[in-house]
Structure 1
Amino acid sequence: MGLLSRKDANLILDPLADNNPITIQVLGICSALAITAKLVPSVVMAVSVIFVLGVGNVIISLMRNIIPSKIRIIVQLIVVATLVIIVDQVLKAFSYELSKELSVFIGLIITNCIIMGRFEAFALGNGPWKSFLDGIGNALGYGLILVVVGFFRELFGSGTLFGIEIFGNPVEKSGLYAYGYENNGFMVLPPMALIVVGIIIWVQRSRNKDLIEEN
């Protein structure tokens, strides 16, 4: 038997596709629109949510039997706010310019529906190990969409990936730009993130007819 049982493995794998928090549950859309014009912020936001949701789910699970039901939401907010502050301070210490670029959106992880939803729906009713897997799975599903959207928006909007020129230099008219290629400025605007997410949803549901029937 491997490290994970089939049921445990599904806690990680299901949110990557058939139960993705963005494309299926339609949660966390705001950050998908706001910070995916470039790939670096997309990856950093994905890693941040993986940390917050993975660790947060474990903490809430460990405390589930001692949290009074009337104040459980307050306790959940305190836990997630503490973890977000840690992420924010680490970013400011090691990548200040990136922390300024992400600015308020790191703080908004506190109100991310995915995180509060997993605390409430899973961590409060399951043990630490399963809660950890559930948190990592949902955060990976969220992060996957952010990275995919960021990849296409930066590539076709700026002609770069991680700031590295892919199509050539548009100023010097080298590479594809020498043949008349132009970056699509619309790709870096927030509405394009919604369109890209919509295309991902369409592709996903066209490949899995069960998702159409369920929704």
Structure 2
Amino acid sequence: MNPYREIMINGLWKQNPGVVQLLGLCPLLAISNNMVNAIGLGLATTIVMSLSNGAVSSIRNHVSNEIRIPVFILVIASLVTVIDLAMNAFIHPLYLVLGIFVPLIVTNCIVLARTEAFAAKNPVLPAMLDGLMMGIGLTGVLTLLGAIRELIGKGTLLSGIDLAFGDSAKTWVLHVIPDYHGFLIAILPPGAFFGLGLLIALRNWWDQRAKTPKTSNTATESTTSAALNYN
């Protein structure tokens, strides 16, 4: 398989950080109470992961093994600071809602894990692609979980999008279930655990379903071959 294609598949499906590796669960569970928050934090994390992977890959041959972890954390912290200041300047209302979870990207284990496991051992371009795909995979899980929780909890999608795009964006909110009184537990912490468990179960079911036909076909071919040989 083409190595770049394999990196993409791993980030989006096979090694998805949200439903396979189960890394970075603190922000994933805490901030996914609606789609807008989930997308905002997911995109910020994706940018940090891609750039930090590229930066670590470019200096990997110039950093001694003894101090690599502090150096990697310093690189990540610098990039998170840039993202934090940019969000504060350009999308301040959303930045206030995300709060401490933007600076906490520095301590997100998936960011450091990818720099250590992949970026520190590979060239710049594959490293950046790995960070990008892992970030997109995490953002996808965040967005889907946020959509499920918001839909069940409020009956809407894209609630709060005006925090990012101004008051004119309030008309973009989708009222999927009109006159819905809400289901509070969906947007509370227990709803995050239930929703994530559902996504993990669906992913595992789909993965097993994809493997089952191959096993069945192989068994059928073996039975047919044995019958022909007997005849």
**Distance in 1 between residues matched to 2:198 and 2:93, nearest whole Å:** 32
Residues 142-161 of structure 1 aligned to structure 2 (within 5 Å):
142-161=138-157
Residue identity opposite 1:75 in structure 2:
V
CA distance in 1 between counterparts of 2:149 and 2:13 reads 21
Deviation at 1:211, TM superposition (A): 11
Is the partner of 1:24 in helix, strand or coil?
Answer: coil
State the shift of 1:13 in Å: 2.1
- Note the C-alpha offset of 1:191: 1.6
8 A Cα contact 1:21 1:138, kept in partner: yes
1:77 aligns with 73
Question: Map of 1:25-104 to 2, 5 A cutoff?
Answer: 25-104=21-100
Structure 2 residue ranges without an equivalent (≥5): 160-172, 212-231
Contact 1:33/1:191 (CA < 8 Å) preserved in 2? Answer: no
- Structure 1 runs (4+) deviating above 4 angstroms are none
Q: Is the 8 A contact 1:205 1:211 kept in 2?
A: no
Letter in 1 for 2:8: I
Aligned match of 1:166 in 171, 175, 178?
A: 175
1:100-111 paired onto structure 2 within 5 Å: 100-111=96-107
Q: Is contact 2:153–2:186 with CA below 8 Å preserved after alignment?
A: yes
Tell me the residue number matched to 1:189.
188
Residue type of the alignment partner of 2:28: A
Are the equivalent residues in 2 in contact too, given 1:39–1:151 (CA < 8 A)?
yes
| Range with greater deviation from structure 2 (90-99 or 58-67) | 90-99
Q: CA deviation at 1:182?
A: 2.7
Indicate conservation of the 8 Å contact 2:154/2:181, yes or no: no
Aligned equivalent of 2:120: 124
1:84–1:106 Cα contact (<8 Å) kept? yes
TM-score (norm 2): 0.81
Distance in 1 of aligned mates of 2:44 and 2:17: 16
One-letter amino acid of the structure 2 residue matched with residue 194 of structure 1: F
Distance in 1 (alpha carbons) for counterparts of 2:210 and 2:110: 19
CA shift, 1:32, in A, is 1.1
Q: How far does residue 6 in structure 1 lie from its aligned partner after superposition?
A: 2.1
> Is the CA contact 1:46–1:143 (under 8 Å) kept in the aligned structure 2?
yes
State the alpha-carbon separation in 2 of the partners of residues 21 and 88 from structure 1. Answer: 22
Task: Specify the SS of the correspondent of 1:99.
Answer: helix
Task: Please say if residues 32 and 145 of structure 2, whose CA atoms lie closer than 8 Å, have aligned partners that are also in contact.
Answer: yes
Change (3 A) 1:22 1:211: farther
Deviation per CA, 1:90-111, whole angstroms, max 9, x where unpaired? Answer: 1110111111111110011001
Equivalent-residue separation in structure 2 for 1:142 and 1:21 (angstroms): 6
The alignment's TM-score, normalised by the length of structure 1, stands at 0.87
RMSD over aligned Cα atoms: 1.8
3-state SS, counterpart of residue 102 of structure 2: helix
Identity of aligned residues (%): 31
Describe the superposition over 1:20-48 as per-residue Cα deviations: whole angstroms up to 9, x where unpaired: 11211110111111111121111111110
What residue ranges of structure 1 are gaps of 5+ in the alignment?
169-174
